Amino acid sequence: MKIRIQLLLPLALTILLGACSSVTKVSSSQFRTTMGLDPQDIEETSSQMAQSMLAANVLTAKGSEGRSIIAISTFRNNTALYDFDPNLIFNPIRVTLNKSGVAYCYVTNDVYVSRNRAAVYHENQVRDFLGEEGHLSSGPKPQYSVTLELIENAGYSGNTTQKQYQIHMTLNKIGSGLAIWEDIKPVNKLGRRAAIGF
């Protein structure tokens, strides 16, 4: 009888521990680290910047359907976050602009749209070569472009580390080449360094 109990005890413990372990779903507001640049930080900051740009009422040039057309142009990463995905910044900006009813975002990374533009460009080259008049249109052109930069600064005091990430967003008017609106938003992080390493 003792032998059976000794054999069943580890099995019972294994079943009990397995039943206790589980994965808990958390809200995005809980998904934050101490020193890193979290998706929630980026989403909030990028969306606020897009809203600030809309509130400035600088989108005066209009395109298709009475909306301004904006191309998300370039992204420069001046941080140690080498694997940072720029879409974490781009996507909240695009969503905010498209939902506003004021602007459309110009599509640059869709394979079907790119193929259509390439086909139209090729056809227009053939028409030019043959001396034929009239060009096909591949759709409306953007009046504005947005450039983005991610910057990182770090400071140390004893075993405390402070990091500041800055998102710099610039709205450029394509026809004039002027930067007609800019904003910089910080994301600050404070943490303690480990006794060994960092």
Q: Is residue 49 part of a domain?
A: yes
Average pLDDT over residues 130-147: 78
- Short-list 70, 76, 18, 104, CA closest to 181: 70
Q: Is residue 9 part of a domain?
A: no
Read off the tokens for 85: 């995905």
Q: Is residue 177 part of a domain?
A: yes
Query: How far, in Å, CA of 47 to CA of 93, rounded?
Result: 6
The pLDDT confidence band at residue 62, using thresholds 50, 70 and 90, is confident
The pLDDT confidence band at residue 13, using thresholds 50, 70 and 90, is low
- Strand pairing of 144-157 and 68-78? parallel
Task: Confirm if 120 and 131 have CB atoms less than 8 A apart.
Answer: no
In this structure, what DSSP letter does residue 64 have? G
Average pLDDT, the chain: 76
Q: What is the pTM of this model?
A: 0.67
Query: What are the E-state strand segments in 21-159?
Result: 68-78, 103-106, 144-157
- Lowest model confidence (mean pLDDT) among 5-19, 74-88, 97-111, 182-196: 5-19
pLDDT of amino acid 198: 41
Read off the tokens for 18: 């397995």
Residue 39, CA distances (Å) to 36, 108, 174 in order:
10, 23, 30
Domain extent at residue 74 = 34-108+139-192
Residue for token pair 């990028």:
46
Q: Is residue 26 part of a domain?
A: no
Q: Is residue 170 part of a domain?
A: yes
- Over residues 157-174, the pLDDT tens digits come to 777 777 888 999 999 999
Query: How far, in Å, CA of 18 to CA of 21, rounded?
Result: 5
Q: Is residue 161 part of a domain?
A: yes
pLDDT at 23 > cutoff 70: no
The domain total for the chain is: 1
pLDDT at 28 > cutoff 60: no
- Over residues 106-136, the pLDDT tens digits come to 876 656 556 666 666 777 677 666 777 877 6
Of residues 9 and 37, the one with the higher pLDDT is 37
pLDDT at 194 > cutoff 60: no
List the beta bridge partners of residue 183. Answer: 169
- Domain of 84, CATH number, reads 3.40.50
Read off the tokens for 158: 């004893």
- Over residues 34-43, the pLDDT tens digits come to 556 778 888 8
Q: Is 139 left (phi over 0), alpha (psi -120 to 50) or beta?
A: left
